[in-house]
Chain A
Amino acid sequence: MSEDIKKFMYVNRRAPYGTIYAWEALEVVLIGAAFDQDVSLAFLDDGVFQLMKGEDTGDVEMKNFSPTYSALGDYDVTKLYVEKESLEERGLTVEDLMPLKYEDEDDDWAEKDSIRLVSRKEMAELMDEQDVLFSF
């Protein structure tokens, strides 16, 4: 196996239900997690809705995959960057999002927040650092 660790960022810009993009992105992330790369997720524009608390898809006949975001920590996907301006433009705060956590192996399995709020400028810098960007 190659020793090369690349920085992969999955960029989520669309609302979770109504199209298949969010679920497809999540599946790709879970599959890709097996390859030991440096993985992060970015949520901006309507993509921030993917992390909303208390989603109920009962009436739209789509699988409710919101609980699956909580499994990302188990897959060692621990960096979920959320753009502050996108939240604000939609009248949301981080309190409206699921409190996603992961256990830090290097810190005696302490529970830590996976969601990291970043500004638009910081998001652009993060994107610039990546080797690979996947846009959904």
Chain B
Amino acid sequence: MLRRKALHALLTWDWYADYARSGQWFNSVLFATMTAYLVNMLTQSTSPGVWTALLWVVISFVTLQSASRTFYLSPANWNYINQLVTPMEIMVGKSIASALSSLLFVTVAFLFFGLWIGWPSDGHVLAIYLSVAIGTIGLSTTLCFTAAIASKTQAKGGLLAILSLPLLLPTLMIAGRATKLATLGVETHELTGPWLAEVGMAGIPLALSGLLFPYLWKA
């Protein structure tokens, strides 16, 4: 059973830790901007397919960077949080916080990407953004769980990417397809199917995380 009060406490905690009392958020904003600029430097003109692929490469990097901090807490802070909320609440709360943060940084990257590389001429920007936003939530729910696993090991850094990237591919494929259709300017009703598939790909990892995190928490 999820308590609203517990989720609120976790979200408030993350807000203070990442935004209100530290400049952690700025690192991610800078990273998102730099990645989008790097892609701009490496390419001149792109087809809708290449545009979509490059955008999702940028989004993958940004969400990965954002998720790497999700479970980065001192043992004392963990002890305090564990007294306030249950393991399932931690996972769901962290997933929501991670999804919101990723969404913010991906929005920044998306805007700069469009600014520098340009928008596809036939595409609807809002439809493209919706495909990107739902896909980002899917990526961040998977990444949040793998970040929880990686945080329990001695190996830091690279392990999160190794554990996560293969698991992100189903979401990336579905989200990439939805984005490509949006860049080609297809009607909104034709995008409903891919968007629902994206929602499904966000829900599966979240449900699995809720079920499995109590075991991780014990470890």
Whether chain B is bound by chain A comes out as no
